């Protein structure tokens, strides 16, 4: 029996891609994953994740990593309610991975608040029969999903480190991180628009841009008012 696990990394940040990874193993491969001690990627150190990622790829029969760009995320999110659209996007990508790997059974970490609905969205995109187990926190329950989580996280971390190498340290990339917010504000001050690695549909990003626009308008108003006062004194 061929078993697939799928998970994502980078769903919430304002910076960088959403990465979705799927791995395919047989029953022996699943036992090997268990022996490796794979766990939820979020509780592992970056060094441990990197090590395990290499071990995982030696065990799997096949795998896929899909990177969804910020611009693609923005197109989907701006088309409707953010969470619903983002959930459907993830379901479509996971379905694509299933079509590529052709497992007998697949375990997915459900993004939707309703795991069964998420499962149905995936099945709508798969033209062959496959058993889908869709659960919250599947990366904590099923080693095959934990392994996919590690691959996704490592791939996203590499993307983020490359961005930092090019553009400087912007922190975690999450809107709650003051360093990330400071980076976004500084970028807007210098460039007037966001780069392509920023998710422009996120509320924090829009708020910074709106605030910058308001400040610019105030500056123009104050400049004109000072000019008018200068004319009155002549």
- In this predicted structure, the answer to whether residue 34 has a pLDDT above a threshold of 50 is yes
Q: What pTM was computed for the model? A: 0.88
- In this predicted structure, the answer to whether residue 109 has a pLDDT above a threshold of 50 is yes
Claim to verify: residue 192 and residue 153 sit in the same structural domain: no
Cα 13 from Cα 138, distance rounded (Å): 21
Claim to verify: residue 141 and residue 171 sit in the same structural domain: no
Q: Tell me the CATH number at 71.
A: 3.30.420.10
| pLDDT at position 218 | 38
Claim to verify: residue 194 and residue 105 sit in the same structural domain: no
Of the three residues 110, 141, 165, the one that is the final residue of a domain is: 165
If you count DSSP H runs as helices and E runs as strands, how many of each does the chain have, helices first? 9, 5
pLDDT band at 192 (very low <50, low <70, confident <90, very high): confident
Cα 222 from Cα 6, distance rounded (Å): 55
Cα 191 from Cα 188, distance rounded (Å): 5
Claim to verify: residue 144 and residue 219 sit in the same structural domain: no
What the block records as the tokens of 86 is 């983002």
Dihedral in degrees, nearest 10, Cα atoms 181, 44, 85, 123: 170
Claim to verify: residue 98 and residue 12 sit in the same structural domain: yes
Of the three residues 165, 185, 206, the one that is the final residue of a domain is: 165
- In this predicted structure, the answer to whether residue 226 has a pLDDT above a threshold of 60 is no
| pLDDT at position 210 | 86
- Segment 27-34 shows an average pLDDT of 96
Claim to verify: residue 54 and residue 132 sit in the same structural domain: yes
pLDDT band at 223 (very low <50, low <70, confident <90, very high): very low
Claim to verify: residue 106 and residue 33 sit in the same structural domain: yes
Instruction: List residues bridging with 15 in a β-sheet.
Output: 198
Angle at which helices 46-59 and 143-167 pack, to 10 degrees? Answer: 130
Strands (E), the chain: 3-9, 18-25, 62-68, 105-109, 131-135
| Overall number of domains in the chain | 2
Claim to verify: residue 134 and residue 216 sit in the same structural domain: no
Nearest in space to 26 (alpha carbons), one of 95, 131, 104: 104
Claim to verify: residue 23 and residue 118 sit in the same structural domain: yes
Of the three residues 145, 165, 185, the one that is the final residue of a domain is: 165
Claim to verify: residue 160 and residue 175 sit in the same structural domain: no
Claim to verify: residue 112 and residue 19 sit in the same structural domain: yes
**What is the domain extent for residue 203?**
167-233
Q: Tell me the CATH number at 209.
A: 1.10.10.460
Claim to verify: residue 151 and residue 201 sit in the same structural domain: no
- pLDDT, tens digit (0-9, with 9 covering 90-100), for 93-107: 999 999 999 999 999
């Amino acid at each position: 029996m061929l078993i697939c696990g799928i998970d994502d990394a980078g769903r919430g940040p304002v910076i960088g891609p959403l990465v979705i990874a799927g791995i395919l193993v047989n029953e022996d491969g699943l036992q090997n994953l268990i022996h490796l001690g794979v766990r939820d990627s979020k509780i592992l150190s970056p060094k441990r994740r990197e090590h395990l990622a290499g071990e995982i790829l030696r065990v799997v029969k096949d795998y896929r990593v899909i990177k969804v760009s910020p611009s693609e995320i923005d197109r989907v999110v701006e088309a409707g309610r953010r969470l619903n659209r983002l959930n459907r996007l993830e379901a479509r990508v996971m379905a694509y991975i299933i079509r590529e790997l052709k497992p007998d059974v697949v375990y997915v970490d459900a993004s939707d608040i309703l795991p069964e609905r998420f499962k149905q969205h995936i099945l709508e995109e798969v033209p062959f029969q496959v058993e889908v187990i869709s659960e919250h926190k599947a990366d904590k329950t099923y080693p095959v999903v934990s392994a996919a989580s590690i691959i996704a996280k490592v791939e996203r971390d590499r993307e983020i480190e490359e961005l930092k190498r090019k553009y400087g340290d912007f922190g975690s990339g999450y809107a709650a991180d003051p360093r990330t917010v400071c980076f976004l504000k500084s970028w807007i001050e210098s460039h007037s628009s966001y780069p392509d690695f920023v998710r422009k549909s996120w509320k924090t990003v829009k708020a910074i841009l709106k605030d910058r626009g308001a400040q610019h308008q105030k500056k123009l108003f104050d400049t004109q008012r000072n000019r008018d006062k200068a004319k009155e004194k002549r």
